[in-house]
Structure 1
């Protein structure tokens, strides 16, 4: 019987043992490095702002920063608590938006794009293609604590609810003109821009795509679900873009509200 196995390689052609981390000569480290800087900057800024517990509400125009929405501590300015407050004041280490920020952080932390981002940058598993990682073995997301990544689909529902709250905040701010009626200022445009971009990030989520298209063998007889699935699929191709843009717009929106609330800048009014 003739063997079908390939002949063994000659000793001189065996694979070389390379001790270098990689033979790549391009700047393969730049992407992970920028990711570390970007995510760290956002986390530091966000931590400082939620612990500041000040300059989150502009009473004259009804601007509420998304970092404090919904404001549920008894310490909240009454007008900023659109959904009421708990009967006690929070200590300094608890955010006023206790019912939203943890879920939003977990939604982003378990996001499919952010997993890739921090796995490659912070955890270096791997840092880049053809680059040796520093870990001796790979366990994936099958063990604690990374098995918790599978909860992403549930955090998605929480993110939808919080996006509705942010939308409500933005709409409510339109009725805080100088005379108590309808008004529009630069801050309103900032709030609505942030809300629209947050919806683009939330709806482009892989879990959202699965909600409308998962568990189906065929879209036949379901034209509405197919139409929604195709639109969400188009958004999904830019999920990474929305992920980064919304980090920036969240910071800019919060910073704008903080500066107006602190009296550092004035809010230009378009009318009223």
Structure 2
């Protein structure tokens, strides 16, 4: 390396550039959209979680994923499938056993980390744009050390996806017998997207095939690893799609439960 003081004769000095970045495109647009999108979803989800109403349609057994499983003694009749174990205080979410793990799974997700690091923390906001902080410590300090627990939150998210699958299947069995309506399609579509996002996680990909040295000796796991790898490339899109399907599913169940419109029924 050659310092400025010992620069070879005839070599030009580095140009003095006052601007923070020479990028002339709208590099700030993507972080801005991320802030708006995530903020809107967080506000909506927070309001819905603490509304404590319009989450169960007893006529068709529709239960919004924001309240699954319902475990407080405030849960309306029929909505608590695994029992009520917590008091119905306002500050306690009705799905208190699952919501914290879902939040932690998403917070520690590799894509979401990139999204909120770049948008909310400006660390950095875009390529070739300076970091918004004077120093960079990576994920070596609390609370960012908790990001390393992502693989364990994946297991919890997989269990919660199983619970949501049960809710979607259970909704086909209404008090009148087998039934099928638009709400069933909404619930099933949400579950499919949730599974796609969950298993496209980098941790799932590593669990399936990350430690294998010879794929030829494990053809089944290789096939699974190939499929998960295909989904993994789409992890960012699935992360946003599932935010949309979760909000849509919750809003649909809320609207039917509140009587804003009736569920479109195809069978029974």
Q: Please, what TM-score do these two structures have when normalized by structure 2? A: 0.95
Match of 1:119 among 113, 117, 120: 117
Match of 2:222 among 188, 205, 226: 226
Counterpart position of 1:260: 256
Q: Provide Cα deviations, 1:53-82, integer angstroms capped at 9, x if missing partner.
A: 000000100000000000000110130011
1:132-211 to 2 correspondences below 5 Å: 132-176=130-174, 180-211=176-207
CA distance in 2, matches of 1:5, 1:67: 59
Q: Please, what TM-score do these two structures have when normalized by structure 1? A: 0.94
Counterpart position of 1:16: 15
Q: Which runs of 5+ in 1 are unaligned?
A: none
Q: Which runs of 5+ in 2 are unaligned?
A: none
Counterpart position of 1:107: 105
Alpha carbons of structure 1 residues 41 and 10: separation in structure 2 relative to 1, 3 Å:
farther
1:132 shift after superposition: 1.1
Counterpart position of 1:212: 208
CA distance in 1, matches of 2:2, 2:143: 43
- Which one is further off, 18-27 or 68-77? 18-27
May I ask how many residue pairs the two structures share in their alignment? 266
Conserved? CA contact 2:121–2:132, under 8 Å: no
CA distance in 1, matches of 2:124, 2:9: 32
What SS does the corresponding residue of 1:52 show, helix, strand or coil?
Answer: coil
CA distance in 2, matches of 1:143, 1:77: 43
- Which one is further off, 102-111 or 5-14? 5-14
CA distance in 1, matches of 2:115, 2:79: 35
Instruction: Let me know the Cα RMSD of the aligned residues.
Output: 1.7
CA distance in 2, matches of 1:27, 1:10: 40
CA distance in 2, matches of 1:215, 1:39: 34
